[in-house]
Amino acid sequence: MLTFYSASTGAVNSKKAIRYCIETALEKEASLNCDLLMIYSSIGHDFEEILSEAHNLLPQTIVVGCTGAGVVGKEGSNEGMRSLAVMAIKAEKRQEFAVSYCDNIRGFNSYEQAHQMAKDLQAENDQINMVMILASGIDIAADQAIRGIEDVLGPDIPIFGGTSSDNSKAVSSFQFFNQKILERGAVLIGFADPGLELVSGANHGNIPIGMPFTVTKSEGNRVFEIDGQDAWPFLMRKLDLPVSTHPGETLAIAGLGEQIEDDLAEEYGNKFVLRIIVKVDSERKSFYMPVESPVGTRLWLTKRDEQHTFNGLDVLIGRIKKQVGNRKLVAIFHTDCVARGRLLFNRISKEEIIKHMQEPLLEGTNIPWLGIYGFGEFTLLGGRNCFHNYTTSIYALVRS
């Protein structure tokens, strides 16, 4: 049986921060140890120091993690340059989880790399019943990665997690595996605790505006042309921004909507799934989507709608609570899009969003919570694995 413990801090000294998180998470335990340590860190920390201190404190523990624009713990959210959160996991039997990683996942090889990582997980344990993924947020083609995992572990394997980010600059982000700091890597964590089940959901509050435009030339997740014009200049004109604008500067306003099937819209609370752009080519002509964008894909500009955001969140949390039912909530993982932090919301609204999630779910209890502001979210939709942007995604681990 897996047991979860969490803590977070805004302490700027990296060594002190990781020590505080580990000691606080495990403070009620007889000894300072765990089998798996998941670390979310914002981009300003000294990662080498964090991993080295984690190893000093927990020499036998497997360490995984990634960077984000901020972290969320049961203590609240923190988007400082040096925020840190951990989830410590203890396993009754070492076989209750497996981990694998790769150090170079890109748009063109996302399927192959994910496929190999899934095979590595399967080789370690063929009883894995859910997979958590932490992957590079700038380079990955997320839908390909999902297919790579499903082709090994089956289409019904629930995949949840997120992609790493920096502080919304869209320059580079990092992933951690034991003492390794990866820049284009991915980590899979397979859980094989038969009593553990996943209840999850995602929601965003954007609404489409104006008329759609159409992808007229693309290759995989790279979009060359929209409505017959160079894709990036076209989009920048629409947003009244110069072509030289870095994608990081457009994160808050360049969320592109893509229509989803009607039968999924109700569960999603929205007729559109959103896509984030974090990479453009060096000539500033084409851009990269986190999923494939075949010719004919219709895209909408979208804008956030505060009422939609809060209402959608309440519906999402209500549905998760209903699905949890009488089962025991043992831990909550959470991925929020970078744009749902200070990029799109002022501090009061952002704290309100976190409160809208945590108060009804935690109900004053001390259930471990580990969240991150990343570039994208892996969350089931309509029972199928799916990649999202600009959402709040909640993954509640429950036990009957």
Partner 1 sequence: MKKLQYEELEEMTRDLQARVEKGITVEQDLINTQNELDAELNRFRLMQKYSSEALKAPDLASFCELTVEYFVEIFNLPRALFLELDEEAGQVVLAQFGLAEYEDQLARIFDKSIVDGNKSKIIRKGETGYEAILKLGLEEAIICPICDQEENCKGLVLAGLKKKEIVFYDSIEEKIADSFALMTQKAGDHLQILRVNERLKKGIAHATKELEEQAEELKRSNQDLEQFAYVTSHDLKAPLRNIASFVQLLNRKYQDQFDEEAREYMQFVLGGVHRLNNLIKDLLQYSRVNRLDAGLEHVDLHDVVEVVKHNLADMIKHQSAEIQIGRLPLFRANYSQMVQLMQNIVSNAIKFNRAGVAPLIRIEGGENAREIYFSVSDNGIGIDARHKEAIFSIFQRLHSADEYEGTGIGLSICKRIAERHKGKIWFESTPGEGSTFFVQIPRNLKRI
- Which parts of this chain interact with partner 1 (CB under 8 A)? 10-13, 43-44, 80-82, 166-167, 169, 171, 209-211, 238-241, 252-253, 301, 303, 342-348
Q: Which is nearer to partner 1, 24 or 42 (CB)?
A: 42
Give least dist CB 203 to partner 1, A.
20
Q: Running DSSP on this structure, what letter comes out for residue 285?
A: S
In terms of phi and psi (left: phi > 0; alpha: psi -120 to 50; beta: otherwise), the region of 8 is beta
Instruction: Output the smallest distance, CB 147 to partner 1, in A.
Output: 32
In whole angstroms, the minimum distance from the beta carbon of 70 to partner 1 comes to 13
Could you tell me the smallest distance in angstroms from the CB atom of residue 240 to partner 1?
5
* Cβ-based neighbour number of residue 225 at 10 Å: 17
> Is the Cβ of residue 45 or residue 334 nearer to partner 1 in the bound state?
45
Q: CA–CA distance from 156 to each of 69, 130, 249, 291 (Å)?
A: 31, 9, 37, 20
Q: Which residue has the tokens 């344990």?
A: 125
E strand intervals along 220-262: 222-226, 229-230, 256-259
Conformation bin of residue 271: beta by default, left when phi > 0, alpha when psi is -120 to 50? alpha
Pairwise CA distance, residues 213 & 234, whole Å = 10
**Strand bridging mode 36-42 / 62-68:** parallel
DSSP3 helix / strand / coil % (the chain, rounded to 5): 30, 35, 35
- Cβ nearer to partner 1, comparing 210 with 294: 210
Q: Which two tokens stand for residue 248?
A: 């990081």
Of 135 and 170, nearer to partner 1 (C-beta) is: 170
* Shortest separation between residue 201's beta carbon and partner 1, angstroms: 26
Phi, psi of 237 (to 5 degrees): -60, -40
Sign, CA torsion 303/305/311/317 = positive
With tokens 């809060």, the residue in question is 310
- State which residue, 115 or 304, has the beta carbon closest to partner 1: 304
Give the integer Cα–Cα distance in Å for 303 and 239: 11
Minimal distance, residue 210 CB to partner 1, in Å: 4
Pick the closer one to partner 1 by CB: 32 or 253.
253
Q: How far is the CB of 80 from partner 1 (least distance, A)?
A: 6
Q: Which is nearer to partner 1, 81 or 295 (CB)?
A: 81
Q: Which is nearer to partner 1, 253 or 260 (CB)?
A: 253
* Nearest-approach distance from CB 282 to partner 1, in angstroms: 17
**Lookup: tokens for 394:** 């909640």
368 contacts 331 by C-beta, under 8 angstroms: yes
